[in-house]
Amino acid sequence: MKNCVTLSPCWLSLLLFTLFACTPGDIIHITTRLPDPTPSPTPISTESTLLPATPTIAIETSSIPTATPTLNQPPPTTPTATASPLWTLTATPEPSFTPSPTPIPPTRQILEPPCPDEQPPPLPNLKIAFVQDGELRLWENGMTTSLTEVDSSTVTISDDGTIIAFTRNRELWAINSDGSQERLLVSESDIAAMQPTDPGVQLGPIYWIPCTHQLLFSTQPLYENGIYYNDDLYLVDTDTLLLKNLFPPEKGGRVFFSPNGQQMALVTPTSITLANYDGSNPQTVLTYGQISTNGPTYLYPRPVWSPDSQSLYVAIPPGDPLLDSPSPTSLWSLPVYDGGPIKLTEFVAAWGNTSIAPDLSLIAYSTLIGEGENISQTLHIIQPEGEEVISFPFSPMLSWSPDATYFTYWLERDLYIGDMAGESFPAIGVGEHVIRLDWIDSTQFLVYHGVGDQEKLSLGTIGAEPVLIAQGGIRGYDFVK
């Protein structure tokens, strides 16, 4: 199991939205996924010899059916960021839903997934890579090793635990988890050539293609205010150092991989596109309007894949979920190979916050009761078709355990753990000021908590005291097991 976290100073203002599936929705359109008209390309082999730290990087463009620019193209004639503020709010109509009349043909060609049919055995030890006090460090089996110097919060570890990618001086680097073969993946000059060159870009979110040593990353424009993304997508191989552009700006998006690594969902503030893991055969399956956030940022939905990689669920909030009486949030099922998108149910969720269980069996959302200072929240857990299973009189859910047996939530700023039998208890030794929590398995979790110099990264276990991994100066972490 693997999860990636990058901490940012803006977490307090965005926390309510990033915990749940939040995405714009004035009008939702559905499109069907068509078969790939040409045979899919052969997956890229990752069995190659590592090169020295500073080789010449080969740059290619993808052959997918989109207009993918090379890195030396002139800048496009697009307006600058000040021409139209991205956070300007406008009145939006109520959402309407029109199901697709044409199902996805079941004969669609399928790429061989990069992950084997039989999942490899888990790693012998949990590995946690984290940035602390300007150093990249690795925790394993109770021991912490310092690997190299870094100057940012971005860190991510491959799912076989052998390679750690990180950023330094706005460049993308990699190092083996044993501390050997540090190498430059994406240089400052590579980034300077990426579109749009005015105002320029910086590295954005980074993702590992499952069961490979290949990274995907997108970029962010160099605006002074706000958090925006270019919704492009690049690939870099950490073994061969091959770099290529898969999608130009506004044709890519945030990446959510299927469990078998075969498909990825590309999410933007207005659409969800499904594509093969190498970027081929991209087809937009759901579009919607932007969601109002009352701030200078965009919000993206967070779809959840089914364990068999055949479909995914996504919750789409209304156009303005911050209203006192918002419109309903809609829950959608998006089949990958056969059949069109299906709206499963609707419910009115406070601020549009929704949490989908990892196995898609349960959906959680909160409602508000009362007015002014007397407002309280109720947590509802329902089946995908809308039937309520249980409800609790407390704050929104923070996260599900992998098997959906437990969930975490806040109660008077302290972290609590609940179960489907209606029982709940405080997380021992965690207390308040929880910034982020990631489940490792059905009983263990990583939790980042505390304030200032007292901030901690701890390994928690249900019913036991947490194990301290690091304290103070922590800027980002990732783990693999």
Q: Domains in the chain, please, with CATH?
A: 47-70+120-280 (2.40.128)
Predicted structure pTM score: 0.78
Give me the numbers of helices (H) and strands (E) for the chain, helices first please.
2, 35
- Identify the pLDDT of residue 233: 97
What is the chain's mean pLDDT, rounded?
78
How far is the C-alpha of 254 from the C-alpha of 133, rounded, in Å?
29
Percent of the chain with pLDDT over 70: 75
- Identify the pLDDT of residue 410: 79
**pLDDT per residue as tens digits for the range 455-481:** 999 999 998 999 999 999 999 999 998
- Identify the pLDDT of residue 226: 66
How far is the C-alpha of 396 from the C-alpha of 3, rounded, in Å?
21
Comparing 179-183, 309-313, 384-388, 408-412, the range with the smallest average pLDDT is 408-412
Residue 341 phi, psi (nearest 5): -55, 145
**pLDDT per residue as tens digits for the range 199-255:** 899 999 999 999 999 999 999 999 767 678 999 999 999 999 999 999 999 999 999
Kindly tell me the sign of the dihedral angle through the C-alpha atoms of 188, 189, 193, 197. Answer: positive
How far is the C-alpha of 299 from the C-alpha of 8, rounded, in Å?
16
Query: Are residues 394 and 411 in contact, defined by beta-carbon separation less than 8 angstroms?
Result: yes
- Identify the pLDDT of residue 224: 64
Q: Residue 194 is which amino acid?
A: M
The pLDDT of residue 65 is above 70: no
- Identify the pLDDT of residue 299: 80
* Helix (H), strand (E) at residue 437: strand 434-439
Would you call 442 helix, strand, or coil by DSSP?
Answer: coil
**pLDDT per residue as tens digits for the range 22-58:** 333 334 444 445 445 444 443 333 333 333 333 333 3
Q: Residue 341 is which amino acid?
A: P
- Identify the pLDDT of residue 10: 41
**pLDDT per residue as tens digits for the range 417-437:** 999 888 888 898 887 788 889
Q: If 0-12 CB within 10 Å is exposed, 13-18 middle and 19+ buried, where does residue 474 land?
A: buried
Average pLDDT over residues 353-380: 87
Most confident of 61-70, 125-134, 284-293, 321-330: 125-134
Q: What is the DSSP string of 384-435?
A: TTS-EEEEESSPPEEEE-TTSSEEEEEETTEEEEEETTS-EEEPTTT-B-EE
Most confident of 75-89, 95-109, 327-341, 364-378: 327-341
